[in-house]
Amino acid sequence: MRILLITTGLKVGGAEHQVVALARAFLALGHAVAILSLSPGREIDTPAGAEVFELNMRKTPGGMVAALGQARALVKAWRPDVMHAHMVHANLFARLLTRLVDSPPLVCTAHSFREGGTMRMLAYRLTDRWTALTTHVSQDGRAGMIAAGGVPDDRIVVMPNGIDVERFRPDPALRDATRARLGLAPDTRMILNVGRLAPEKAQDLLIRAFGQLSPAAPARLMIAGGGALTEALARQIATQRLTSSVTLLGPRDDIPALLNAADLFVLSSNIEGLPMVLVEALACGCPVVSTDAPGVAEVLRDQGVIVPRGDAAALAGAMAEALRAGRGTPAQAAARRERVLSAFSIDSIARRWLAHYTSLTHGARVIPAETA
């Protein structure tokens, strides 16, 4: 099968990483893959076997027309069997593209709980008939899009993201080496957060909660990621006099190593789609505390502690209790990983996508959302 993946961009982000992970999995299963990015530049590595095409779409009518023309030529030349768009801009772009070229079935995947406001939901609804299927990565997100009028109930199913379970796995030797590299003493508990430094990730709440922990038990908070709030969070850390115990690590490419080194992973977000960083943490056997952002309960089920969003005291209490327990027993770590193996392996997710693609190319009805 020839699969054209269409993405808003190839910068660092959960949805972008998922596009690349699917491309890699499809290639491994013997399929041809091309990736079309609406914006130029890459911050993540794409698999060598995938053809990558980058547009330079500008937010002007002329820029849109030019980009659609380039994409039309690509579809005619590459002749995909299915097109699969990811994220709101790529989804709407791909729907317009189907009006300009004799295209194969189009699948559109939404990754965020909030794909946009009233105008974007109207655009989704008006162009819904031009796509064979819309999917969301979480039940919460699916319900949100239906409630906002973006898509009819019978036209959207849930398909979760997946991860490479061989890359994210418990590794005691890697844990020791990473903790030594980070300068952590054996009795120091490491708390890790990974994500863009953006308002919706609420790392300011996490820092406030960390400041409420008892200094009697040595702990370090490390936040991996970059973003617009870097300077603001650095000022907050200084103001709270936490510079010796809270570190902004910046963008990192060693997340499996950090997850192995950590004694606790904490997600403080207000908004998520399906928080794959929690999946990655569980796959590495790391205990998790999280706010009740959309998608969190779907990932964790009974394999983590969930507290209300915006409640620093509740977050601090859950963190303190988790730190007292440490990483837990080998059986507990195995249960966390099993949760991932059963639901979020990229290989199994890729095979589920291929089943959807095959059904659509043969004109079959997609299975309903409740069993997707």
CA separation, residue 35 to residues 51, 86, 108, 115, 252 (Å): 6, 11, 14, 22, 24
Residue/partner pairs of 120-126 with CB below 8 Å, 24 or more apart:
120/88, 120/92, 120/150, 121/145, 121/148, 121/149, 121/150, 122/149, 123/92, 124/88, 124/91, 124/92, 124/150, 124/151, 125/149, 125/150, 125/151
CB 45 within 8 A of CB 186: no
Residues 6 or more apart in contact with residue 273 via CB below 8 angstroms: 14, 15, 110, 111, 112, 113, 136, 137, 138, 141, 294, 295
The yes or no reply on domain 2-162+345-371 and CATH 3.30.470.20 is no
Per-residue pLDDT tens listing for the chain (372 residues): 999 999 999 987 778 989 999 999 999 999 999 999 999 988 889 999 999 999 988 777 788 899 999 999 999 999 999 999 999 999 999 999 999 999 999 999 999 877 778 999 999 999 999 999 999 999 989 999 999 999 999 999 999 999 999 999 999 999 999 999 999 999 999 999 999 999 999 999 999 999 999 887 899 999 999 999 999 999 999 999 999 999 999 999 899 999 999 999 999 999 888 899 999 999 999 999 999 999 999 999 999 999 999 999 999 999 999 999 989 899 999 999 999 998 999 999 999 999 999 999 887 655 544 433
Main-chain dihedrals φ then ψ at residue 161, nearest 5 degrees: -80, 165
Q: At what angle do helices 88-97 and 118-127 cross, to 10 degrees?
A: 30
Domain boundaries, the chain: 2-162+345-371, 172-343
User: How far apart are the C-alpha atoms of 175 and 187, rounded to whole Å?
Assistant: 14
Q: Which CATH number describes the domain made up of 172-343?
A: 3.40.50.2000
Bridge partner list, 4: 34, 83
Count Cβ atoms within 10 A of the Cβ of residue 269 and give its class: 0-12 exposed, 13-18 middle, 19 or more buried: buried
Residues 6 or more apart in contact with residue 347 via CB below 8 angstroms: 25, 28, 162
User: How far apart are the C-alpha atoms of 19 and 145, rounded to whole Å?
Assistant: 21
Q: Say whether 172-343 and 2-162+345-371 share the same fold.
A: yes
Q: pTM (2 decimals)?
A: 0.83
